[in-house]
Amino acid sequence: MAQQHPPTADAAWTPEDAVVMCVTGDPMLLEDCARVAAVAGARLEGSAGFGDAPAVWGERPLLLGADVDDVPPRLRGDLVLVGRSSERERLWGRAAEMGVEHVAELPEAAGWLVEFLGRRRIRAAEGAVLGVVGGCGGAGASTTAALLAAAAAARGHATVLVDGDRVGGGLELCLADESPPGLAWPDLAAASGSINPDQLAAALPVVGGLTLLSWPAGTGPAAPMASAASSGVIEAARRAFELVVVDVGRGREGIEEFGWACERVLVVVPGRLRAALAGARVVQELPPVPAGVLVRGGVAEGIDRERLAEVVGAPLVARLPELRSVRTAAESGRLLELARTRHVRRMAADVLDGFLAPAEADGVLAPRIAEAGSAGARSAGARSARARRARRTQSVVGAA
């Protein structure tokens, strides 16, 4: 198919580097999207299908028409599925099938879509969000996240470590021998709307130069956080810090709640084939954001780290040899002392200078968890693929 050439805004005021991709075979929908992009100060490039789209489409905001059937299996989390209000049932049916996060019914959602694209243009002022998830039980994702965050802070990056595992026992215990003063997750449970980034940063505890947001350690129940509160906190943290490292946890709750906020996800696996196979299943549960593999410890005989990463289904990013004192340090609240060791510094350099570099070079991506403020625009939320399909189908039937 020949590439479509939609109307674009006047080149005199539309920045050349502000480009939005739109994939749809509907010329009228393409024209509507071009108008929205122009109002947002961006230039729109359109294609009838992904086979015709430029190779750089994955680096730009993507508007995907509900009419497109040939869609890649893994799409970016900042994709917006667009369609007409007159075809609402079809639009939301496609959203349920694909498990996309953002849906916009045009023309009603034009205002929301302008705001969404406009926020992408100021992304350079926002920090990066890196999720760390264990590929199997006992992989050491929490200690890896803490060591990585501490090493980043030691390199001079304004970094916050976020405990995303509500039932993990409290990440703060690995970093200090007692609960540090400052806000914890339960203190933010009632937060709603926009959170002041500076106030959040000033209120969080600091341990060894590293800012921390943790679930408090204790034997009592940890009440779930409302999605609006947790997403608002991550949004504010992104604006207050250069780097947000989230210990996502392996549970579905953590992946659904925090996975969609991440620019990158680091999957931690021990050097065993069975662990890599388990990691491959975890990758299938992750949102459509770039994933990388970190192999911890030694590897079994006859297997190399590249092969393990291939089994997981993501590129090898870094390795972290076995640290003899890591368990003792974590149990005694002295984990941060290991952040300056040679192996940890090398691991951090591989992750920060290699894995995160593509996101930083093009400006940090805009938030993927957004509240829809206009009629016809909604956020599908962070759910696993199967849960999203089932629940979204129910909402479509209910709306009809």
pLDDT digits (tens, 9 = 90+) for 230-288: 888 998 899 899 999 999 976 778 888 888 788 899 999 999 999 999 999 999 988 87
Handedness of CA 259, 261, 264, 268 (dihedral sign): negative
This prediction has a pTM of: 0.63
- Nearest-angstrom CA–CA distance, 95 and 98: 5
Residues with Cβ within 8 Å of 225's Cβ and at least 6 positions away in sequence, in order, are 166, 185, 188, 189, 257
Q: How many Cβ atoms sit within 10 Å of the Cβ of residue 332? A: 14
Point out which residues pair with 131 in neighbouring strands: 246, 265
Helix (H) or strand (E) segment spanning residue 273: helix 273-285
pLDDT at 76 over 50: yes
Q: Could you tell me the pLDDT band of residue 119, with boundaries at 50, 70 and 90?
A: low
Which range, of 13-22, 228-237, 378-387, averages the lowest pLDDT?
Answer: 378-387
What would the two tokens of residue 167 be?
Answer: 């039932």
Q: What is the pLDDT of residues 332-359, one digit of tens each?
A: 888 888 988 999 999 999 999 989 876 5
